[in-house]
Amino acid sequence: MTRRNPFGVGVVLGLAGLLVFAGGCGVVDDVLNVENPSQIPITSLNDSKLINVMVNGVIGDFTHMYDDPFIWRGSMLTDEQVTGINWEQTARLNLRIVRYEEGDADLMFGAISRALRQAEDVSARIRNLLDTLANKDARLATTLAFAGYSYVVMGEAMCQALISTVDPVTGAITPGDHFLTPDSLFRRAVPRFQEAITVATAANNTQILNLARVGLARAYLNLGDKANTKAWAGLVPANFKYVLEYSSNTPRENNVLWTRVTGSNHALGVSPWFLQTGPNSTTPMTGGAPFGTQGLKKYETDPRIQHSSRWTKGHNALTMLYKPYQGLRFTGYSGKRLVDSTTVVEGTDVKLFEAGTGIILADYLEAQHDFAEADGPTAATVTFINQRRAAGFLPPVTLTPGPDDAAIMAELRNQRGRDLYLGGFRLGDLRRWKRQGVGDFFPTGPHVNTAVSPSTWPEYKDATCFPIPLPELQANPNQAIKTFVPTSKDP
Amino acid sequence: MRDSSRMRRIRGPSLLALALAAGLAVAATGARAQTTGTIQGTVTDRATGRPIVGAEVSVLGTSQSAATDVTGRYVIRGVAAGTHPLRAVAIGYTRLETAVTVAPGQEVTSDFAMSPTTIQLDEVVVTGTPGATEKRQLGNAVTSLKVAEIAEAAPVRTVQDVLLARTPGLTLTTYSGQAGAGANIKVRGAGSLAAGYAPVFYIDGVRFSSTTQVGIGTDGGLVQGTNPLDFINPNDIENVEVIKGPAAATLYGADAASGVIQIITKKGRKTGTGVQWTVGAEAGRTDWTDHIGWPTNYWLCQPFQIRQPASFPGCAGMDSLAPASQRLLVDDPLRDIPLKVGNVQRDPCNCTLRSGPAYKVDVSARGGGDFFSYYLSADRYAEDGVYYNNWQRRVGGRANFDITPSDKLNFSVNVGYARTDNRMPLNDNASNGILRNAFRGQAGGPLAPWKPGWRGVSPEISNSYDNQTHAERTTIGLTTTWRPWSWWQNRLVLGMDKQDRKNTQFYTIDTTGRAPFGATAATGTIQHYMPVTHVWTVDYAGTANAKLPHDLTSAFSAGVQLNARNLRSTTVTGEGLVANQLNLVGAAAVTRADEGFVKQTSLGFYAQEQLGWRERLYLTGAVRVDDNSAFGSDFNVVVYPKASASWVISDESFFRVPLVNRLKLRAAWGQAGRAPQPFTADRTFTSARTTINGQSANELTPQGGSSGNPNLKAETGQEIELGFDASLLQDRVGIEFTYYNQRTKDALIQVPDLRSSGFTGSHFENIGEVANRGLEVLFTATPVYGRAVAWDVSLTFSTNHNELVSFGGARDEIAFGQFATVQKHKEGYPLGGYWYNDVDRDASGQPILTNGQVTVDVSKYTYAGPSSPTREASLGNTLTLFGNLRLYALLDHKGGYYMWCAICSVRSRIDQNTLAINDPSLDRSSGTTPDSINIKVLKSLQTKTWIMPADFLKLRELSLTYTLPASWTRALNVGRASVSVAGRNLRRWTKYKGVGDPEVQFTSTGAAADFNRTDYDATPPLQYVYASVRITF
C-alpha cells in the first residue's frame, strides 16, 4: 500500500517546518486584519473633527442616565413613587433595600460614571486639540457644566464613590485608589461649574452660563453653603430653562419614564402618600396604609402631581398604581388640572409621559427653591411659597417668620416636592435634609403592597443611597478597595 | 452493448454529472480501454444471505471503488490488468480482502459474504488529514453515527434528533418544544465560562455557522432563536462523526477545544448499475399530551373576597360561611375548557393549543459510472407547532458530484441549498406569552385583565404576535484530491456557507385600545432584521506515506486552514402605520435603520507524524500553530501539541484472552483552543443617537464600546484520554470505553469593566481554569442474529464531573439566575450550579416567625447541585423479525442534576394559584398552624423548594417498520419499500415536580444561553407521531 518515499522524510519535514515557521513569523498578519466599522479605537478620538460628536456624547450619556437610572431608580428609594415592576431586585428598591451585589447599584454608579468620564475626558481632549482657543469655546463650557452636574448627581445618588481617570490620548486607565464622600463630590463639582461659567462667559453663551449657575447653586446647597447658594441662584434669570431632550427616534432616545407607565409593563405609579403628606396634604406620612383604604383623591387638584383617575395593577400583577401625568419638570406640563373627567381632556390638556417628553435639568424655578431654602424662613420665602401654592391651585397659607419658622420650611419642602416632582431631586433632597439635621423624611412603616402580599412586601428598610457596586470593587486592582464592603446608608 | 444499455438507464441529473466529467475523463477512458478489465460481484450477509446495500468495494492502491446497489451488486470497470487486492467494507461488518486477477477486456467475478461485527476498527473516519484513516490508527475515541441507518429506523426529523441520546459524552438540551427551535449542545461538559462551549460543525469538510440564530426578541427569553441546523435534511446525511475534546481535535485548532462534529452527506455510488431513486413521504402531528401535564390553577375564595365581587368576580355569590371545600375554584385555561364560576363565564375559544400537523416528502437520485458519481436530492418539510402562531417550513436540495478523471485526481463538488421559514411565538418570560398567562391564571377568582382565568393578555392576543424568519442557506464545498505518487496525497477544500435571513416582527395597529404590546407597537410597527452570514473555508492538507525499516510505516501530514466568518446585518424599523395593509417600512410615520458587522478570521498551520508498526501499533505526534483576528495586539500565536498511541493488541500473537475477539488500547493527550469573540481585545467607543435641539444627532460613547484587553488570546483546552475498544463473543458484543480528564487553562473570564472608567460592560481575561472528567461507554450487542429473528442492543452511558477550578483571583463568584439568584460560577463547584435560599429556621429546623411572617436572608446560600446532567444513558433496541418487520425503541435518561422551577416560585409567591396554597383541607385556623406556616414558606422568597431533582427517563423514540418482501417489491418493480409508524417523546418518567419539563432551557441566545437553566413556561419537548413510506427504485 505504501512505497518508499524517494525524497525522504527529512525533506518533507523541512517543508512542513517552513509552513509552521511562516505562520509563527506573522507572515499572515494581513490575512488576519479585520475591519470593525462599528467601533472606533479610543486612541483615535484625538481628532478635532470629532469634537462635536464627542460633545454630543457628553450630553447624550448624561441625558440617558438622568431618566434612568437616576430619576426612575433613584426616586424608588423615596416617597415619590411606588413600583409595579416584576423584577424583584429592582422592586426591592421600593422597600429601601439596595444591595451592592445587585444590578441597580451597578446601573446607577456605572451610568453616572460614564457621564462623568465623558464630560471630563472630552473636556481634556478639547483642551488638547484647541489649546487656548478652547477657553472661549462653548463646547468646552458645555462639557465642563456636565462634568459639574455629573459630580452633583453622583453625590446625590451614591453613598460613596470611586473615580478613575482615563488618559485622553492613550486611553490608559488609572483606577481610583480612594473613596469619595458625597460632600467631596459636591466640592469637585464647584470648580467645574466655575470653569464652565468662565468659558461660557468668554464664549458669550448665556444658556450654558445659567446652566452652570444653577448647577453651582445646587452643589453649594448640598454642601450647606447658604451664602454661595443664594449668590449663584440669585443670578439666574426668570426665563432660563435647560431641557434634556428625548424623542421617539430610537429606543435609546426614549424617555424611560414613558416606557415605565405605558403598556403591559407598567412599573411606575403614584402613591397618594407621596411627598410626606396624606391625601389632604396635611397628614404627615406614617407609613403606607393598605392601598385602596387611604381615601384617595380620584381627581388630584394640584396639576404638578396629578395622576390618572383609575388605577391599574402593575406589571407584577400586584401593585395598584395610578399613572402620573407630566408634572412641572416635564415639557408636556400644561398647568391644567383634572378636577373631573370632563373639564380637561386626558391626553391633551393633561398628558401621561411620552417617548419624547423632555426633562428640565435646571431652570429659574429650581434656582428660586434653592435660594429660598438657603434664605430660610423669611417673608420672601413665605411669598415664594404662596406663589407656588397658587400654581398648584392651593389656597395661600399665612405663616409668620419667627414663630412659624418650622412650618414655613416644612411648607417650602412640600412645595419643592411638588414643583420638582419626579424631576430628579427627591433623593438628593431627602438625603440633604437628613444629613443637615432637618429631618428624616424617607418612607417608613409598611409598604402599600403589604396588605396584598405580606410575606414578600415587608416594611420599608433603611437604605438612603446607592452603594458602590461589586463590579467596581472587583475590577479595581487595589486590594483595600477590592475587599471593601459598601453600605447603602448614610451615616 | 453493456455500455449503451447503461446509458439508456441514466436520466437527467446523472447526464449533467456526465457532462461535467466528460471533458476530464474522456482521454483517460480511451487510453485505458485496451488494457483494463472489469470486476463485478455481490456482497451478502454471511448469516442471512441477504444483500448488503451500500458496501464499498475498492481496489487497494488505486482510487477505484464501487458501492453495492439494493441487490448487493457492484461493478468496477477500467481496472488495470493484473492481480489486485480487493477490499469490501460495510457498516456493521468485518472487512474482507481477497486477491483478483484481471485480464484485459475480461470480466472477473468476486463475491463477498461478510460477517457482522459490533466493533469496527477498519472504519474510515475524518481526522483532518487527507487520505483514509481507520479507527485502528486513532488514539482517541470518535463516535460515528450511521445516520443513513438511523433515519431508516428512528423517527428523526432534524439533525438534533440524530444527535440526541446516541453519542456518549454529547449532551443535547432542547431550548423548547416549539417547531423550529434549536438546542444547546456540549461535548464532555462545559469547558468554558465565557468563550462558549458549543462544538464546531463541518459539512463535507466545510465549516458552517452553528450558533443559534438570533433575531428580534430572542434576547431575554421572549422568543426562541431559530435552529441553525434546520437547513440539513437528515435523509441527506450518510454519517455524523463526533470528535470529542482537545485530545482529538488538536488539528482543528483554536476553535475546537469543545469538539468537532463532522457531517458527511450522502455521495453517489460508482455502482455502474444505473440510478437509484428513493422517494419518501411522511405525515404526522405534534401534540401537547397528558403525560406532559397540564397546569391546573386554583383559587380559594376568602370571605372578604366574596364580599368584593367587583375585584373577585369568580367568588361572587358564594356563601362566605360555607366550608372551604365549597369555595375552591379550579381551572385549566390551557386545555381550553369552559369556566363558569361566580360572575365569570369563559367559553372555549379554540385558540390555546392545537394538534400541529407535519409532513415531509423527499426524493433522491444516486448513481454513477466508472469515473463519476452523484447524489441529488430535494425535500419539503412542514411542521405546525402546537401554538397557532408557530410553524416551520423547509424546502431544500443537495447536489453532490464526484469526478475521478484519473487515478491521481479526484474532484468532488457538494452543494446544499435550503429555504426555511419559521414563525415563532412568544415564549418563556414573555409577558404576553400564552403559556405564561395560562400557568399564572387564577382560576377566575380575581378580576383578570383580559380574559377570565388568564393572567395577562388573552390567548387571542398572544396568538396575534407575528415574528417570522425567512432564510436561504447555501453551502458549497469543492474538494480536490491529488495523488501525484502513491506515497503523496494532497487535499484542498474550498468552501462557503452563506446564509441570508430576514426576520420580521409585525404589530398590527392596536384595536383594543389597551396597547397590550406597548404604546409604540400599538401604532402599528414593522421591523426587519436582515443578517447575511458568510463562513469561508480554505483547507489544504498533504500526507506523505513511507515504508520504513523494521515493518514501520510513516504518515507525515502538514496543512493550513483558513476560516473566515463575516456577518453583516441591517435592521429597518417603521413605527406608526397608516393601515395594516400598508406595512412597508417606508409607509410608516417614523423610520429607522441600523447596521451591524462582525468579522473574524483564523489561520492555522499544523504538522503531524504518525508511525505505524505492522498495522497494529500507531504513535502519533502533532503540533498546530494558530493565529486569530480576535487575539489581542500584544499576543502573537498559540501552539497546540498532541500525542496519541493506538495498539490493536488482539493482533499480537501472544494475545489469548478468552471470549475477546479484538481489543484495541488507546491513549491520547492534546490541546486545542477556544478563540475569544471578535473585536473583544480592543478598547473602543461606538456611535449612538441622542436628541439635541430637537434633532437626532450622532454621538460617540463608551456605552456599547469595549474596554478591551490587548493580551487576549484563546483558551487552551488540554485533555488526556484513555480507553479501549473490544469485541467479544464472536463479535456479538462490542464495548468502547473511554476515560477523559480535561482542563481548560487560560479560560476566558468575563471580568467587569472598571465602572468608574466609563466602560460599563465587561471584558475578557485569560485567567480561569475549568476541569471536566468522566467516563464514556458504548455497549453494542447482537444477542440474536438469524434469518427469523435479529435483536440489536445499543447502550450508551456517560458521566461528567465539571468544576470551576479557579477564577484566577479575579472574583469570588459570578451569581446569576432568572427571577432569583439561583445559579453561581463558584470555585470548587460546577459551572452554573444551583444555590438556594431558605427561610430562617430555628435549631430544630422550624421556620422562625417574625411579626407573624417567615423571613429569608437572601445573602445566605446553600449549594443544591449541578444544573447540567452529570450522568446520561440511552438504551436502543432493534428487533427484526423475518428480515422485514423491525421494532425500534430508544430510552433516554439524564440524571444527577437539578432544575430551577421559577414558574413554581412565581405561582406560589405572586399568583398564589397552586393547590399547595389553596388546598381547602389545610388547617388555617391560625397563622401558626403547620399548614399556615408552610403556606408562608411557599409564598416567601426562598428558593429551596423550587430547585428540584430533574432526573428523567423518556421513551424518546419508538418505531415499527415493515419492509416489503422481495417478492412484493419485484412484483411492484421497485428495489426496496418500507412503511413505518413512529413517535418521539412518547412517555416520561421523572423525579421533577415542577410545572414544566426538566429538559428545557430558559433562553437560547446571548451570554445566558450557556448556563441559565430555568423552567419558566418553556415549551417542553412534545410528542410527535407519524406514518411514513419509503421506496427505493
Whether B201 contacts B212, CB under 8 Å:
no
Q: Which residues of A touch B854 (CB under 8 A)?
A: 455
Q: At what angle do helices A51-65 and A103-130 cross, to 10 degrees?
A: 160
Residues of chain B with pLDDT under 50: 1-33
Contact between residue A209 and residue A27 where contact means Cβ atoms under 8 Å apart: no
ipTM: 0.90
Residue contact A23–B690, C-beta within 8 A: no
CA gyration radius, chain A: 27
**Rounded Cα–Cα distance for residues A182 and A212 (Å):** 19
The full DSSP string for A189-215 is: HHHHHHHHHHHHHHHT-HHHHHHHHHH
Q: Report pLDDT for A366.
A: 98
Looking up cell 425500534 gives B888
Q: How are beta strands B260-265 and B200-203 bridged, if at all?
A: parallel
More confident residue, B1008 or A194: A194
Phi then psi for A114, rounded to 5 degrees? Answer: -60, -45
Residues 6+ apart with CB under 8 A from B211: B196, B198, B228
Q: What is the DSSP letter of B755?
A: G
| Cβ-proximal residues to B760 (8 Å cutoff; 6+ apart), any chain | A106, A110, A111, A113, A114, B702, B703, B753
CB contact under 8 A, A121 and B758: yes
Q: What is the DSSP letter of B1007?
A: G
Of A57, A259, A476, the CB nearest to B699: A57
Which chain B residue is nearest to residue A353, measuring alpha carbons?
A: B519
| Cβ contact, residue pair B757, A164, below 8 Å | yes
Query: DSSP characters for B245-288?
Result: HHHHHGGG-TT-TT-EEEEEE----TTSS--EEEEEEEEEEEE-
How far apart, in whole angstroms, are the C-alpha atoms of residue B256 and residue B201?
10
> Chains A and B: how many Cβ contacts under 8 Å?
299
Which residue of chain B has the CA closest to A35?
B599
Residues 6+ apart with CB under 8 A from A18: none
Most A CBs within 10 A among B594, B626, B699, hence the mutation to make, goes to B699
Residues of chain B with Cβ-Cβ distance to A24 below 8 Å are 625, 636-637
Distance CA A327, CA A302 (A): 10
Q: Which amino acid is at B277?
A: W
pTM (2 d.p.): 0.83
For B174, B226, B547, the CA distances from A6, given in Å and listed in that order, are 54, 54, 11
Q: Do A246 and B700 touch (CB under 8 A)?
A: no
Q: Are the CB atoms for B364 and B148 separated by under 8 Å? A: no
CB A278 within 8 A of CB A256: no
Is the CB of residue A273 less than 8 Å from the CB of residue A81?
A: no
Q: Do B756 and A175 touch (CB under 8 A)?
A: yes
Instruction: Give the separation between CA B767 and CA B879, rounded to whole angstroms.
Output: 52
- Provide the sign of the torsion angle of the four alpha carbons A426, A432, A438, A444, taken in this order: positive
Which chain A residues are within 8 Å of B691, Cβ to Cβ? Answer: 63, 245-247, 249, 253, 356
Q: Which residue has the higher pLDDT, A395 or A281?
A: A395
CA distance B842 to B963: 68
CB contact under 8 A, B754 and A475: yes
DSSP secondary structure code for residue A288 in this structure: P
Dist CA B624 CA B607 (whole Å): 7
Q: What share of chain A is helix, strand, coil (3-state, %, to 5)?
A: 50, 10, 45
CB–CB contact B696 A249 (8 Å):
yes
pLDDT of residue B733: 92
Q: Report pLDDT for B348.
A: 94
Confidence at A27, pLDDT banded by 50, 70, 90: low
Please give, one letter per residue, the 3-state secondary structure of B154-168: CCCCCHHHHHCCCCC
pLDDT at A457: 66
- How many CA atoms lie within 13 Å of B63's alpha carbon, on the beta-carbon side? 21
- Percent above pLDDT 70 for chain A: 85
Could you write out the DSSP letters of every residue in A178-192?
A: S-B-HHHHHHHHHHH
Contact B683 A117 (CB under 8 A): no
- Contact (CB<8Å) A356/B554: no
CA A111, A112, A114, A115 torsion-angle sign: positive
Q: Compute the nearest-CA separation of B559 from chain A (Å).
A: 8
Query: Scanning every residue of chain B, which has its alpha carbon at the shortest distance from the alpha carbon of A20?
Result: B605
Residues B444, B296: Cα–Cα separation, whole Å: 12
Mutate to test the interface with A, among B308, B626, B757, B857 (most CBs of A within 10 A): B757
Whether residue A69 has a cis bond before it, omega within 30° of 0: yes
For residues B851 and A117, the model is more confident at: A117
Chain A nearest-CA distance from B322, in A, is 23
CA distance A196 to A138: 9
Residues of B in contact with A32 (CB under 8 A): 601-603, 627-629
pLDDT surpassing 50 at residue A6: no
Find how far residue A334's CA is from the centre of its chain.
Answer: 24
- Chain-chain contact of B760 with A50 (C-beta, under 8 angstroms): no
Q: Which residue of B has its CA nearest to A61?
A: B701
Q: What is the DSSP string of B75-99?
A: EEEEEESEEEEEEEE-TTB--EEEE
- For residue A16, give the nearest of B607, B694, B755 by CB distance: B607
Kindly state the cell numbers that stand for A269: 405609579
Task: Give B217 to chain A, closest Cα distance, Å.
Answer: 14
Q: What is the largest CA-CA distance in chain A?
A: 114
Peptide bond into B678 cis (omega under 30): no
Give the closest-approach CA distance of A456 to chain B in angstroms: 6
Contact: A453, B604; criterion CB under 8 Å: no
Q: List the grid coordinates of B528.
A: 426587519
Among the listed residues B592, B702, B693, B694, the one whose alpha carbon sits nearest the alpha carbon of residue A61? B702
* pLDDT value of residue A272: 53
CB contact under 8 A, A175 and B683: no
Whether A9 sits inside 8 A of B936 (CB atoms) is: no
HSE at residue B30, side-chain half, CA atoms within 13 A, is 5
- Put simply, the answer to whether B596 touches A38 (Cβ < 8 Å) is yes
Interchain contact, B757 vs A61, CB within 8 Å = no
Q: What is the DSSP letter of B104?
A: T
**Cα–Cα nearest to B216, from B435, B430, B383:** B430
* Cα gap B10→A385, rounded to integer Å: 99
Find chain B residues with C-beta within 8 A of A177's C-beta: none
Instruction: Work out the average pLDDT over A138-149.
Output: 98
Would you call A40 and B941 a contact, using CB atoms and an 8 Å cutoff? Answer: no
The whole-number average pLDDT for the span A140-151 is 98
Predicted local distance difference test score (pLDDT) of residue A453: 56
3-state secondary structure of B552: strand
Which residues of chain B neighbour A312 with C-beta distances below 8 Å? 449
* Contact call for A253 and B700, based on CB within 8 A: no
Query: Searching chain B, which residue's CA lies closest to the CA of residue A316?
Result: B910
Which residues of chain B lie closer than 8 angstroms to A5, CB-CB?
Answer: 487-488, 544-546, 554
Distance from CA of B118 to the nearest CA of A (A): 27
**Inter-chain touch B853–A113, beta carbons under 8 Å:** no
Residue A286 in this model has a pLDDT that exceeds 70: no
Cell numbers 470529542 correspond to B244
- What does the pLDDT read at residue B8? 35
List the one residue out of B802, B860, B804, B801 whose CA is nearest residue B827: B804
Facing residue for B605 by CB, picked from A20, A57, A265: A20
Q: What is the pLDDT of residue B468?
A: 96
In sign, the C-alpha dihedral spanning A76, A78, A83, A86 is: positive
Residues of A whose CB is below 8 A from B601: 31-32, 34
- CA–CA dist A318, A267 (Å, integer): 11
Euclidean distance between CA atoms A337 and A331, whole angstroms:
16
Query: Other CB atoms closer than 10 Å to residue A436's CB: what's the count?
Result: 12
Distance CA B87, CA A475 (A): 64
| Residues in chain B, overall count | 1033
The C-alpha of B54 sits at a distance from chain A's nearest C-alpha, in angstroms, of 24
Q: Looking at the partner chain, which of A45, A110, A248 has a beta carbon nearest the beta carbon of B755?
A: A110
**Contact yes or no for B909 and A40 at CB 8 A:** no
For residue A1, give how far its alpha carbon lies from the nearest alpha carbon of chain B (Å). Answer: 6
Cβ distance B686 to A114 less than 8 Å, yes or no, reads no
pLDDT over 70 (residue A12): no
Strand B344-346 to B356-368 pairing: unpaired
* pLDDT attached to residue A13: 52
Are the Cβ atoms of B689 and A50 closer than 8 angstroms? no
Dihedral sign from CA coordinates of B834, B837, B842, B848: negative
Q: Which of B685, B691, B940 shows the shortest C-beta gap to A245? A: B691
Residues B228 and A145: their CA atoms lie apart, in Å, by 50
AA identity, residue A274: F
The Cα B94–Cα A10 span in angstroms is 37
Q: Closest Cα to residue B937, out of B900, B908, B903?
A: B908
Q: Give the three-class secondary structure for B480.
A: strand
